[in-house]
Amino acid sequence: MSKKDIGIDTSSQKYKDIKKTINKYQDFIKKNFQYVGKNFAYEARSIHYKDKKFSKGIYGTATKEDIKELREEGIEAEVIPWIKENTN
């Protein structure tokens, strides 16, 4: 499904401003956190239960169910909108 199919006007200034803000957050995260990919839930648990240490925080991908389970275990995890680099 494209942005046009769901009614997003990619030419609007509001869309451009939001995208710019998200890109700034992404740049900050990439510079200051370690990417762990699809292993996010595993790595978050490893840190929480003291099996592993990272010099930085971590980021990666997780399912909604993974995030729910992490929160139930008392592990802080947030969902952040992410724009793929090749997206216009």
Cβ-proximal residues to 79 (8 Å cutoff; 6+ apart), any chain: 67
- Bridge partners, 20 (sequence order): none
Cβ-proximal residues to 66 (8 Å cutoff; 6+ apart), any chain: 40, 41
What does the pLDDT average to over 68-73? 96
Instruction: Please check whether residue 1 is in contact with residue 24, taking contact to mean a CB–CB distance below 8 angstroms.
Output: no
Say what the pLDDT of residue 87 is: 57
Say what the pLDDT of residue 32 is: 96
Three-class SS state of 37: strand
| pTM listed for this prediction | 0.76
- Going through 24-68 in order, the beta strands assigned E by DSSP cover 33-37, 57-60
What digits encode the pLDDT tens for the residues 6-55? 667 778 888 889 999 999 999 999 999 999 999 999 999 999 998 777 77
Say what the pLDDT of residue 31 is: 96
Say what the pLDDT of residue 25 is: 94
Measure CA of the first residue to CA of the last residue in the chain; give whole Å. 15
Q: Is the pLDDT of residue 74 over 90?
A: yes
What does the pLDDT average to over 62-82? 94
